[in-house]
Amino acid sequence: MASCKKKIRGKKCDSTLAFVCYNLIAGIHSAHNLAPARISLCSTTMSSVLKSPLTKNLKVALIQLKAGADKAANLSKVQSYIDKAVSESTIGKPDVVMLPECFNSPYAVDKFREYAEVIPGGETTKFLAQLAKRHGVFIVGGSFPESDQDKIYNTSLTFSPSGDIIAKHRKAHLFDIDIPNGITFKESITLSAGDKATVFGLGDFGTVGLGICYDIRFPELAMAASRAPHNAFAMFYPGAFNTTTGPLHWHLLARARAVDNEVFTVLCSPARDVGGSGYQAYGHSLVVDPSGKIIAEAGEGEEILYAELDHSLLPSARTGIPVHYQRRFDIYDDVTTSTKTSAI
């Protein structure tokens, strides 16, 4: 709680005071049947719980497609799907079009370097910038391999409706797993990890956070984005879970991050390559609301998934279960205070 904490900065009682303040105000509200707007809150941080961090409804289109070995064909397919997502939308023109992880290349450790491009001068960056500008939409550009000097990153770019890069996230947690009788995959053989959490403004809609696939398993990124001073209303995760981890954890983690932080979570997966010999993506792109309810979900194949994020759901969730103001940093550390965040 910003204004309260300034008076006692550095002391262990900060969160206790926040906890007491909140419950005192809640008690007054209940006893006198006051509307929330009539309560004088002790900080702009607490008052944000009564006001949606999303200023108006946001329409999203998630493009679940399958990428092959031909980069030119992959980009051509992306263009066709984005054109279709805008022109044939069932909810009106989308504000955001989102692509899946590794949409311009196979998802394979031995292919990342071959398909890697520099940013911002590479083909895929210019391609997405032109599409965002042509259609006047935000594009959360899934991810693709980025080459920077001798390192390769799994990188996601977000473009404004004018075609400018407004966010760049390098996958912070590399997908290195070995599940007996399941799957073994080690991104670190080729990829280097990013070094920050990515939080940025989505025009006049508000603030969002961005992660890639395996990043969703680490709640600190979403916590840093959703808490003050950023107060994000959503986390976007392009991700390629597989047919082992997907059934186990895809829905679970999407709902957990939504409930943990009372934000929308938006996950866009590649389509499953049924019968193919390569990596088998799970599919099931989905959107979850701040209470943990799945409001839209795709199947396994190629499709466009539409959803509208209702701004009124955020204050409803955050006032009903006010976890943002009930944390006890006199008991445990606030990991978000030292989190490195930026847009680019």
The verdict on whether 302 is a catalytic residue reads: no
Helices (H) and strands (E) in the chain, counts: 10, 16
The verdict on whether 171 is a catalytic residue reads: yes
Choice among 117, 171, 262, 268 that is catalytic: 171
Sort 320 into a burial class: Cβ within 10 Å, 0-12 / 13-18 / 19+. exposed
Residue 44: pLDDT above 80?
A: no
Nearest CA among 305, 245, 314, 315 for reference residue 271: 305
Assign domain 58-311 to a CATH class. alpha beta
Q: For strand 151-159 and strand 144-148, is the pairing parallel, antiparallel, or unpaired?
A: antiparallel
Element (H, E) at 286: strand 286-288
Cα separation of 153 and 116, whole Å?
8
Residue 36: pLDDT above 90?
A: no
Cα separation of 207 and 288, whole Å?
17
Cα separation of 139 and 157, whole Å?
8
Give me the pLDDT at residue 173, please.
Answer: 98
As a whole number of Å, the CA-based R_g of the chain is: 21
Choice among 42, 102, 213, 268 that is catalytic: 213
Average pLDDT, the chain: 89
The verdict on whether 187 is a catalytic residue reads: no
Choice among 42, 71, 101, 297 that is catalytic: 101
Cα separation of 317 and 295, whole Å?
15
Q: What percent of the chain has pLDDT over 70?
A: 85
Other Cβ atoms less than 10 A from the Cβ of 316: the count is: 15
Over residues 315-323, mean pLDDT? 94
State the pLDDT confidence band at 65, using cuts at 50, 70 and 90. very high
Cα separation of 223 and 334, whole Å?
10
Give me the pLDDT at residue 276, please.
Answer: 79
Answer for the pair 63, 27: CB distance below 8 angstroms, yes or no. Answer: no
Over residues 303-319, mean pLDDT? 97
**Of 71 and 12, which is predicted with more confidence?**
71
C-alpha distance from residue 238 to each of 73, 143, 290 (Å):
20, 7, 18
Domain boundaries, the chain: 2-51+318-332, 58-311
Give me the pLDDT at residue 31, please.
Answer: 46
State the pLDDT confidence band at 147, using cuts at 50, 70 and 90. very high
